Amino acid sequence: MEQVRDFGSEGWQVEEYVDVPERAQELGCRVPSGLALLPTNFETVATKRELAHDLQGLTVRALWREAGLEESRLEEPEEQWPTAQKDAFEWLGPTIFVSASLLSEDPNAVSVALGVVANYVTDFFKGVPRGQRRASLDVVVEDPPGSYRRVRYRGPPEGLQEAAQVVRELRQ
């Protein structure tokens, strides 16, 4: 695992990720393109029936809709997957997928998608002492086409403001 941004013992780290379209097909899901939310257990489940979104993924979905962003869904229209809810003071973000085509054709959409999440999390922790604020987020990036890496963040919520920059640097 490679550390790309350091916030003491926390920060952004990069690791290899499964082939997203291949895994989606294997599970019988729609293949995501552009911007998507990956289920929390996407890598590990044996069947589609076990898939669950993160609780905060639903909030991110609503934030993207509010920002006018188009989300590509793995679930069929009218299909409703359960959500996994972990009870933690920390803001446990979902896994966001960004395709190679979106990164090259509309990098601004990627900045907006990650920016609205970062702003939401800043607002979420208003009134909490800084030392107690913690957030985590995973972003799976396709780049180059057909190659998938996951950047994982854990640390102070302000660090999420760098998400778009970290994704951009990953491409270079």
Using rule CB under 8 A, residue 10 touches other proteins: no
d(Cα 33, Cα 73) in Å, to the nearest integer? 8
CB 51 within 8 A of CB 84: no
d(Cα 99, Cα 171) in Å, to the nearest integer? 12
Token match 């550390």: residue?
3
What SS3 state is found at 142?
strand
Which of 3, 25, 76, 82 touches other proteins (CB under 8 A)?
Answer: 82
The secondary structure element, H or E, covering residue 2 is strand 2-7
Q: Which of residues 47 and 172 has its CB atom nearest to other proteins in the complex?
A: 47
Using rule CB under 8 A, residue 97 touches other proteins: no
Least distance to other proteins, CB of residue 104, Å: 29
Which of 10, 43, 75, 90 touches other proteins (CB under 8 A)?
Answer: 90
Please enumerate, as own/partner, the contacts of 55-59 that have beta carbons within 8 Å and a separation of 24 or more: 55/83, 55/84, 55/85, 55/86, 55/92, 56/91, 56/92, 56/93, 56/94, 57/83, 57/94, 57/95, 58/83, 59/120
Q: By CB under 8 A, how many residues form the interface with other proteins?
A: 28
Q: Which stretch binds other proteins (CB under 8 A): 25-33, 127-135, 148-156, 158-166?
A: 127-135
Q: Which of residues 5 and 133 has its CB atom nearest to other proteins in the complex?
A: 133
Which of 9, 47, 80, 172 touches other proteins (CB under 8 A)?
Answer: 80
Which of 120, 135, 139, 151 touches other proteins (CB under 8 A)?
Answer: 120
Show the binding pattern over residues 48-77: x = contacts other proteins (CB under 8 A), - = does not.
Answer: ----x--x-xxx-xxx-xx-----------
List of residues contacting other proteins (CB under 8 A): 52, 55, 57-59, 61-63, 65-66, 80, 82-90, 120, 123-124, 126-129, 132
